[in-house]
Amino acid sequence: MPHASINAERLLARIHELGAIGRDDRGQLTRLAASDSEKLGRDLLVHWLKAVGLDVAVDRIGNIFGIWQSEENAEQLPLMLGSHVDTVINAGIYDGCYGVLAGLEVIETLKEQGVTPARPIVVAAFTNEEGVRYAPEMLGSLVHVGGLDIEAALATVGTDGTTLGSELTRIGYAGTVEPCALTPHAYVELHIEQGPVLEREATTIGAVENLQGISWQRVTIEGVANHAGTTPMAMRSDAGLAAARVGLFLRDHIARSNAPSVATIGTMRFEPDAINVIPSRAVFTVDLRDPDEERLQALENALDAQLRVIMAEEGVTVTVERLARFEPVTFDRAIVEMIEVSASARGFKSRRMTSGAGHDAQMIARIAPAAMIFVPSRDGISHNPREHTDPADLVAGANVLLDVVSRIAGG
């Protein structure tokens, strides 16, 4: 039986049009959550949702929902698709947007075919998935599942001193719908892999069965500012050196433990930040991940112990603030199997895999059966303007999504 397929040109054109929004003078794409540039991306998405005839709802944390329902299916829980349209700094065009726009494309395709689904289908764009401006990441979907109080979420202070609530109001996306109003029957998120596995194995579709745990912390080390030329090495309280030791420790510890854990120090700031002054303060973030909860806890404990050693040996004080902590998630087996069956029916090679990145699906999995579909990322690169996926793979993933949606929502 021939398969109906999504409109490839339309999907690819929308991905590129949204990807052109939020470019700075140097052409770099940055749409941080609730910023002016993200507002423009949101506006374009809402324009498309309305053009396709969907009802648009925005909740109090700024999550955008495009809802397709009819009188016959309005009583049923919706099938939800989606991802996010915020980006990291100097981002690629596919992370997040692909899942949202493919969700929209699937709905538009089904509408064009005259399908009346057995349940509503909703495409969601969740606020602040990336967590670059406001921590924790996946904040909008976390609020959606009741994992974070709405008032606390709105009061979150960003890296630029703004609060998320005031910024959402400023850009016109502090909606009125109470979070959690839309409990899905199931959730499926299509995303680029952002890693090298599918490409290396010449496999088109990843059926994502689990997602690793994430631990985010901000570490502040206080030393003593002093003259870089006159202070003997043994007489320093060097916050910068102490911070550097943390990064080296994490790399060596993981190598010794032979675990799949990963650790990243993605931001670091020194004070006073001068070439000839010993740093009095270092503030940096630590991102730890592992698919196994016990191993992730062991890594957190090893870091704590090492910070105490560094404090004693370097004559500095250390304080740690927890920014995010999410346990590993197992996705719904039935949906994972549907993804495999759908891929194989279209002749695509698939494999099961673990997501190394955090995604809104891991939050929604708390309240509904959820799973993810991955497509290959060239050279495994993401969070980088070189992020790229072959258009044929983008289309393949969207068609698998279409088939999974048809299986779940029927018609």
Terminal-residue alpha carbon distance, the chain: 17
Q: What is the contact mask toward ligand GLV in residues 241 to 280, using x (rule: CB under 6 A)?
A: ----------------------------------------
Contact flag: residue 300 with Mn ion (CB under 5 A): no
Residue 108 interface partner, choices ligand GLV, Mn ion, none, CB cut-off 5-8 Å depending on type: none
* Closer to Mn ion by Cβ: residue 195 or 279: 195
Contact flag: residue 291 with ligand GLV (CB under 6 A): no
Residues numbered 96 to 155 that lie near Mn ion (CB under 5 A) are 96
Contact flag: residue 171 with Mn ion (CB under 5 A): no
CA gap 7, 380 in Å, rounded: 26
Q: 189 and 409 in contact (C-beta within 8 Å)?
A: no
In the complex, the smallest distance separating the C-beta of residue 137 from ligand GLV, rounded to whole angstroms, is 5
Contact flag: residue 358 with ligand GLV (CB under 6 A): yes
Tell me the HSE value of 335 on the side-chain side, using a 13 A CA sphere. 29
In the complex, the smallest distance separating the C-beta of residue 273 from ligand GLV, rounded to whole angstroms, is 26
- The four Cα atoms 95, 324, 268, 168 give a dihedral, to 10 degrees, of 60
Contact flag: residue 137 with ligand GLV (CB under 6 A): yes
Residue 96 interface partner, choices ligand GLV, Mn ion, none, CB cut-off 5-8 Å depending on type: Mn ion
Structure tokens at 201: 């194995």
CA gap 120, 200 in Å, rounded: 37
* Closer to Mn ion by Cβ: residue 84 or 245: 84
Q: Which of 239, 230, 61 is nearest to 134 (CA)?
A: 61
- H or E segment and range at residue 220: strand 213-222
CA gap 30, 347 in Å, rounded: 36
Contact flag: residue 356 with Mn ion (CB under 5 A): no
84 annotated binding-site participant: yes
Contact flag: residue 184 with ligand GLV (CB under 6 A): no
In the complex, the smallest distance separating the C-beta of residue 95 from ligand GLV, rounded to whole angstroms, is 7
* Closer to ligand GLV by Cβ: residue 191 or 245: 191
In the complex, the smallest distance separating the C-beta of residue 215 from ligand GLV, rounded to whole angstroms, is 11
| Secondary structure class of 95 (helix, strand, coil) | coil
Q: Which one of 357, 370, 394, 404 is in contact with ligand GLV (CB under 6 A)?
A: 357
Q: Which of 93, 68, 82 is nearest to 13 (CA)?
A: 93
Q: 239 and 270 in contact (C-beta within 8 Å)?
A: yes
Phi, psi of 73 (to 5 degrees): -105, 0
Phi, psi of 367 (to 5 degrees): -120, -10
Q: Output the known binding site.
A: 84, 95, 130, 191, 383
In the complex, the residues that contact ligand GLV under the rule CB under 6 A are: 130, 137, 357-358
